[in-house]
A and B are shown apart, each in its own frame.
Chain A
Amino acid sequence: MTSVETSPGATAGQTTPGLWADLRGDGTAMTGVVFLVLLLLVAIFAPLIAPHDPEAQNIIARLKPPAWMDRGDWAHVLGTDHLGRDVLSRLIHGSRISLIVGAATVALAGGFGVLMGLTAGYVGGRTDNWISAVIDTQVAFPGLLLALMILAVVGPSTMTVIVVLALNGWMVYARVTRGVVLSLKHTAFVEAAGLLGCSTWRVMLRHLLPNLSAPLLTLATLEFARIVLAEAALSFLGLGVQPPATSWGLDVAQGKEYMFRAWWLVTFPGLAIALTVLAINLIATWLRVTSDPLEREKRFARRARPAR
């Protein structure tokens, strides 16, 4: 009998540094993660953190500037709006909407899109033609216009915003998934799974899906940033989240009337949107490099290389 080959890999006694260690080595991505985690905590504990009720009006104390300016008041650190509502409190509560809409839309659009892409790519043939045709049609249709139409008919609410944004976003996932599946479909392990008797569902979910995680994770992160912006845009147009609920986009919309008299009304929610999107993009950049083995090795070598 042939002898057993000695176990490789483990011989040097070293394992690959994990994702966490990799992240710690990357200052920029870490900044993004820290920001996002803080934001998440703020959103979860919003009622405990917020100094005021975001909907409480106080006409006497309306349009107060941030605390460090003349007429400022430490009771309203970031000032108040035209109805005397506390800007900081509205910002804190608004983060909830942004994150919920972002996460829910990504989950909905991603889930549906990936399923469509998997089916189109793996089953192929007529199914693929149909799904691809639907994707192409929807991509060709102006997204915001469709959203406005639906919202105008159905009536805006947080739930409809999520559904509408998902309806506009699933095609990207489907396309990316379909592309990767088409190239994976002909690799030997997928063919082997089929010949061994795995059902179509099993091949798609057990063999294809796990191998798609890297590009999809990066895509989902980027989409999340896009959704946060889209929600803000819809709310700004008055077709997103409806008052008295709060949202960053809504705050910007309501503040625009007072842009020249009270700059803080648009600046702080705008800044919150910008920073959140930036943080997510930083993470996406890191994810893209980390999920590509070659890029990851290059980055490692560049850092490890002793200065000459």
Chain B
Amino acid sequence: MSAPLLEVDGLEVEFLTRRGTVHAVRGISFDLGPATTMGLVGESGCGKSVTAMALMGLVDLPGRLKAGRVRWKGRDILNTEGDPATEAYRREVCGRDIAMIFQDPMTSLDPLFTIGAQIAEVLERHRGMSANAARTRATELLDLVQIPHPEDRVDQYPHEFSGGMRQRALIAMALAAEPDLLIADEPTTALDVTVQAGILDLLADLQARLGLSILMITHDLGVVARLCQRVAVMYAGEIAEEGAASRLLHAPEHPYSAGLLAATPRLMESGDRLSTIEGQPPDLRLPRTACAFRPRCANAVAACAQAPDLRPLPDGAGRLACHNPMRAAPRAEPRPTATATAAPARTQSPDAVQPLVRVEDLTVTFPVGKQRLFGPARTMTAVDGVSFEIYPGETLGLVGESGSGKTTTGRALLRAAPISSGRVTFDGQDVGAQDARALRRLRRDMQLIFQDPYSSLNPRMTIAQIVGEPLIVHGLERDPARLRARVEDLLGLVGLPADAADRHPHAFSGGQRQRVGIARALTLEPRLIIADEPVSALDVSIRAQVVNLMQDLQARLGLTYLFIAHDLAVVRHIADRVAIMQKGRIVEIGPVEQVYFDPQHPYTRSLLASVPEIDDSPGALTGT
């Protein structure tokens, strides 16, 4: 291996907060060679993004660099001495030799300048180019990142670019100074799957053509599998395991890596339950004494009371911090493969039963812009003639990319979005024809679970108030003691302790808040639950817990789900039938097995092909 470009040595970052000092990054070290792609993987709060920010010297109050140093081509760019020479060298290197792209392409571009001007600025600053030369080069760069008609696009403003194109423009900007290393912090997380696939292909192509090194920070193992040669798995501010992607993704040795892999739902596998990593990540305010993963680890032994060091593996192919690694193959029994499609259908035959929900030719239009004085306002059609049925006890998955109208469809079932034309019938009653009072009564049987567990709970109310509120407003329970008992029952049902009732939402993690959201949806004992991306804001291991909970509740309470999601793998796992939406229309609907293994519509096919997957076939073991 040639001399490393970037050497990170014992990096420690802490945040001084009023609730105590959070040790976010706890002494991580790694090297990155030239022309290498390395993935830094972990769940939220593991310190991966903070590490990236620290590398660029972007850690700001309340955070601070506590220890460690970072070298670029053998010379310090970051250390705790804070001498001006290091600072000056970092300023020189960052932006020119090391470039960074961020998660959110919407906010990373200045809306007041053209794309071309923003790229040209980098060229003028770091390459000393003249304005004219910079503009020409900017056009070339846009062409390089495969933006069509770059000579026109160069003079456009960010709002004229779509999300995927903005991310391409940001990549072009990052590449403008011809860096040796590109740090990408979740560059595709905010994008649709098909767009994500394009960006990943672009990065792989650029890496090969320009001999670039890429440090890819992500939570998505599929992205790592698609792009990276090396992987470092982070947990609780430390590197748990590092090695070649081909090895780590197929034979992980750290129990956390193995758990993370197992909890990731696969597109082409069914299976009744997702395997989960039980428990929660540790409190990063506490000092590092035992192995951080010990409380959640099935392999824990007595030695784990001592924090393990990150040691090179005997064969030198990577590093591992574990006292009792996974020796055996991670999957003792082979997972059911694509051919094993004989999973029994969980629904009764559709002909035999009356559907719970029948949607006929539903159209939803919204007025756009200000209402004009004369004539009707211009409208935008979000849902365009959609028909489907949901049968009692089944789960219908509704899949689509952003703007496909899937969320609006879900809202229209509750008439929370206007039913412009068509009919929605719930249990034989026309939802669109109800007056306010009857609608309120009808909505008791249809409840919604929201995507964002942070904004869906009122921060000023206690959990008991949140979960009990539906009973109060519908006048169903007036006795405080019985209300309390009911709330505690509900909390127990979703796996939360009874003492959670008196606390406020901020005391809970994302997964726990989502459980509270589910408990609230169950309070009125609804028959239909519309779950709008209920797990997409959650980490992989927590996501598996919530998906399993939803399946358990369905079995116990006989619930019917409309499961709205963009994640095909999760839908594959939970749904009985699936409907694929594109531009307000359902392009394909059918049993999950059929749609996934024999997609008829070209859009379905491209959607399925875009999902970054970990290749489980045995042949993939012998990778790079």
**Chain A contacts to B: CB under 8 angstroms:** 1-12, 14-17, 187-189, 191-199, 202, 206-207, 210-211, 296-298, 300-302, 304-305, 308
- Which chain B residues border A5 with CB–CB below 8 Å? 278-280, 495-496, 509, 511-512, 545
- Which chain A residues border B286 with CB–CB below 8 Å? 11-12
Per CB-CB distance, the 7 closest pairs between chain A and chain B, nearest first, are A301-B62, A188-B456, A210-B460, A301-B16, A9-B507, A188-B450, A11-B283
| 23 pairs, CB–CB < 8 Å, chain A vs chain B | A3-B278, A3-B279, A4-B495, A4-B497, A5-B511, A5-B545, A8-B507, A9-B507, A12-B20, A15-B19, A16-B18, A16-B19, A187-B456, A188-B450, A188-B452, A189-B456, A189-B457, A197-B470, A197-B474, A206-B461, A211-B458, A300-B16, A301-B17
- Which chain A residues border B276 with CB–CB below 8 Å? 2
- Which chain A residues border B509 with CB–CB below 8 Å? 5, 8
Is residue B552 within 8 Å, beta carbon to beta carbon, of the partner chain?
A: yes
Q: Give, as a whole number of angstroms, the nearest-CB distance from A186 to chain B.
A: 9
- Which chain A residues border B460 with CB–CB below 8 Å? 210-211
Cα A296 to Cα B276 in complex, Å, equals: 37
- Which chain B residues border A192 with CB–CB below 8 Å? 448, 450, 456, 520
Cα A193 to Cα B468 in complex, Å, equals: 12
Task: Tell me if B280 and A8 are in contact (CB < 8 A).
Answer: yes
Task: Tell me if A305 and B16 are in contact (CB < 8 A).
Answer: yes
Q: Give, as a whole number of angstroms, the nearest-CB distance from A151 to chain B.
A: 40
Cα A202 to Cα B475 in complex, Å, equals: 14
Is residue B9 within 8 Å, beta carbon to beta carbon, of the partner chain?
A: no
Task: Tell me if A12 and B455 are in contact (CB < 8 A).
Answer: no
Partner of A2, one of B82, B461, B524, B545: B545
Interface positions of B from 235 to 265, Cβ below 8 Å from A = none
Cα A192 to Cα B16 in complex, Å, equals: 35
Is residue B360 within 8 Å, beta carbon to beta carbon, of the partner chain?
A: no
Partner of A197, one of B20, B82, B444: B444
- Which chain A residues border B473 with CB–CB below 8 Å? 196-199, 202
Cα A202 to Cα B440 in complex, Å, equals: 15
Partner of B18, one of A17, A198, A308: A17
Is residue B484 within 8 Å, beta carbon to beta carbon, of the partner chain?
A: no
Smallest Cβ-Cβ distance to B64: which chain A residue: A305
Could you mark each residue 469-501 of chain B with 1 if its beta carbon is under 8 Å from any beta carbon of chain A, else 0? Answer: 110011000000000000000000001110110
Is residue B451 within 8 Å, beta carbon to beta carbon, of the partner chain?
A: yes
Interface positions of B from 38 to 87, Cβ below 8 Å from A = 61-64, 82
Q: Give, as a whole number of angstroms, the nearest-CB distance from A180 to chain B.
A: 14
Cα A272 to Cα B250 in complex, Å, equals: 76
- Which chain B residues border A189 with CB–CB below 8 Å? 455-459
Cα A194 to Cα B503 in complex, Å, equals: 23
Smallest Cβ-Cβ distance to B296: which chain A residue: A6
Task: Tell me if B62 and A298 are in contact (CB < 8 A).
Answer: yes
Task: Tell me if A2 and B497 are in contact (CB < 8 A).
Answer: no
Q: Give, as a whole number of angstroms, the nearest-CB distance from A187 to chain B.
A: 5
Smallest Cβ-Cβ distance to B456: which chain A residue: A188
Given A7-B499, A14-B19, A301-B15, output 9 extra A-B contacts at Cβ < 8 Å. Answer: A3-B278, A7-B500, A12-B20, A12-B283, A12-B285, A188-B452, A196-B447, A197-B444, A198-B469
Cα A202 to Cα B472 in complex, Å, equals: 11
Smallest Cβ-Cβ distance to B278: which chain A residue: A3
Q: Give, as a whole number of angstroms, the nearest-CB distance from B408 to chain A.
A: 13
Q: Give, as a whole number of angstroms, the nearest-CB distance from B533 to chain A.
A: 11
Could you mark each residue 397-428 of chain B with 1 if its beta carbon is under 8 Å from any beta carbon of chain A, else 0? Answer: 00000000000000000101000000000000
Contact count A vs B, C-beta below 8 Å: 129
Task: Tell me if A8 and B457 are in contact (CB < 8 A).
Answer: no
Partner of B82, one of A10, A206, A304, A308: A308
- Which chain B residues border A202 with CB–CB below 8 Å? 473
Is residue B94 within 8 Å, beta carbon to beta carbon, of the partner chain?
A: no
- Which chain A residues border B17 with CB–CB below 8 Å? 297, 300-301
Partner of B458, one of A12, A14, A193: A193
Given contacts A8-B280, A12-B283, contact A188 B549 (CB under 8 A): no
Task: Tell me if B443 and A195 are in contact (CB < 8 A).
Answer: yes
Smallest Cβ-Cβ distance to B497: which chain A residue: A4
Partner of A195, one of B295, B414, B455: B414
- Give the most central of A187, A199, A207, A308: most B CB within 10 Å: A187
Q: Give, as a whole number of angstroms, the nearest-CB distance from B234 to chain A.
A: 19
Task: Tell me if B61 and A8 are in contact (CB < 8 A).
Answer: no
Cα A129 to Cα B512 in complex, Å, equals: 41
Partner of B283, one of A8, A197, A211: A8
- Which chain B residues border A305 with CB–CB below 8 Å? 16, 61, 64
Cα A15 to Cα B20 in complex, Å, equals: 9
Q: Give, as a whole number of angstroms, the nearest-CB distance from A260 to chain B.
A: 53
Q: Give, as a whole number of angstroms, the nearest-CB distance from A57 to chain B.
A: 55
Task: Tell me if B469 and A187 are in contact (CB < 8 A).
Answer: no
Is residue B508 within 8 Å, beta carbon to beta carbon, of the partner chain?
A: yes
Task: Tell me if B280 and A6 are in contact (CB < 8 A).
Answer: yes
- Which chain A residues border B62 with CB–CB below 8 Å? 297-298, 300-301
Cα A16 to Cα B507 in complex, Å, equals: 11
Could you mark each residue 501-515 of chain B with 1 if its beta carbon is under 8 Å from any beta carbon of chain A, else 0? Answer: 001001111011000
Q: Give, as a whole number of angstroms, the nearest-CB distance from A241 to chain B.
A: 39
Smallest Cβ-Cβ distance to B440: which chain A residue: A197
Given contacts A1-B495, A8-B280, A8-B508, contact A196 B18 (CB under 8 A): no
- Which chain B residues border A308 with CB–CB below 8 Å? 82
Cα A16 to Cα B506 in complex, Å, equals: 12
Smallest Cβ-Cβ distance to B523: which chain A residue: A196
- Which chain B residues border A302 with CB–CB below 8 Å? 61
Is residue B548 within 8 Å, beta carbon to beta carbon, of the partner chain?
A: yes
Task: Tell me if A188 and B455 are in contact (CB < 8 A).
Answer: yes
- Which chain B residues border A12 with CB–CB below 8 Å? 19-20, 283, 285-286
Given contacts A14-B19, A192-B520, A193-B458, contact A8 B512 (CB under 8 A): yes
Task: Tell me if A7 and B15 are in contact (CB < 8 A).
Answer: no
Cα A304 to Cα B20 in complex, Å, equals: 11
Smallest Cβ-Cβ distance to B469: which chain A residue: A196
Cα A189 to Cα B549 in complex, Å, equals: 22
Cα A308 to Cα B414 in complex, Å, equals: 59
Interface positions of B from 346 to 374, Cβ below 8 Å from A = none
Q: Give, as a whole number of angstroms, the nearest-CB distance from B495 to chain A.
A: 5
Cα A5 to Cα B524 in complex, Å, equals: 25
- Which chain A residues border B278 with CB–CB below 8 Å? 3, 5
Given contacts A11-B286, A14-B19, A197-B440, contact A2 B552 (CB under 8 A): yes
- Give the most central of B280, B295, B460: most A CB within 10 Å: B460
- Which chain B residues border A3 with CB–CB below 8 Å? 278-279, 495
Smallest Cβ-Cβ distance to A15: which chain B residue: B19
Task: Tell me if B18 and A296 are in contact (CB < 8 A).
Answer: yes
Cα A67 to Cα B159 in complex, Å, equals: 71
- Give the most central of B444, B456, B503: most A CB within 10 Å: B456
